[in-house]
Chains A and B, each alone.
Chain A
Amino acid sequence: AQSVTQPDIHITVSEGASLELRCNYSYGATPYLFWYVQSPGQGLQLLLKYFSGDTLVQGIKGFEAEFKRSQSSFNLRKPSVHWSDAAEYFCAATLSGTYKYIFGTGTRLKVLA
């Protein structure tokens, strides 16, 4: 069955530290991949997406993600975290030509001052 896994439910980092959020997918073919951020009381905001091509994808707010086919992973990274990055992060996937997103269970990021 198709699935998206985010192994870390909670992550805490200090402000200014680097961040990596993990995402693994299980699909028969390479899906389209997304990272969304959800702040309290807000909808999901797209950070970045991968369809094909360059495996290192740049997004908004200084985030980037790297697609690794061999590991079925699409990890999100940021070199230096800001307090405003505290939120919940969701990885999602869908197959080419389809509209049905499958989301991971999310990683809640806490940032220490």
Chain B
Amino acid sequence: GAGVSQSPRYKVAKRGQDVALRCDPISGHVSLFWYQQALGQGPEFLTYFQNEAQLDKSGLPSDRFFAERPEGSVSTLKIQRTQQEDSAVYLCASSLTGGFNEQFFGPGTRLTVL
């Protein structure tokens, strides 16, 4: 596709459930990023991949959050034992090269934890 796609677009989970959010970056993009955007806030960095390597996971809020990109393309953000404070929009972005470059954002997945 032409842009970054994410699925599902909306996810409702009961507290304690595990969820998996998918990101399809722009084909050929080396770098992939996940951001968390709480209501009324700007996006906050979660983690960064260069190809399949997770180079930075400093923004993951707890060990319940886990991200992978096993083949260097599609990425999955997994949240275990979801809590109400996990409710947010999760944005994925990709960029052509490693290091600094313009990031292209997907539409996001809105997660609501009841």
Which residues of chain A have a CB within 8 Å of any CB of chain B? 4, 9, 32, 36, 41-46, 49, 90, 92, 94, 96-106
Q: Which residue from A90, A92, A97, A101 sits with its C-beta under 8 Å from B99?
A: A97
Known A-B contacts A90-B42, A90-B43, A106-B42; the reply to A97 vs B100 at CB < 8 A is yes
Residues on the B chain within 8 Å of A41, using CB: 9, 107
* Number of chain B residues close to chain A: CB under 8 A: 26
> Mostly helix, strand, loop or mixed at chain B's interface?
loop
* Min CB–CB distance B53 → chain A (angstroms): 13
Residues on the B chain within 8 Å of A90, using CB: 42-43
Interface residues of B in 94-114 (CB under 8 A from A): 95, 99-108
Q: Does B41 sit within 8 A of A, measured CB to CB?
A: yes
7 further A-B contacts with Cβ under 8 Å, apart from A43-B107, A90-B42, A99-B101, are: A43-B106, A44-B91, A99-B95, A101-B43, A105-B40, A105-B42, A106-B42
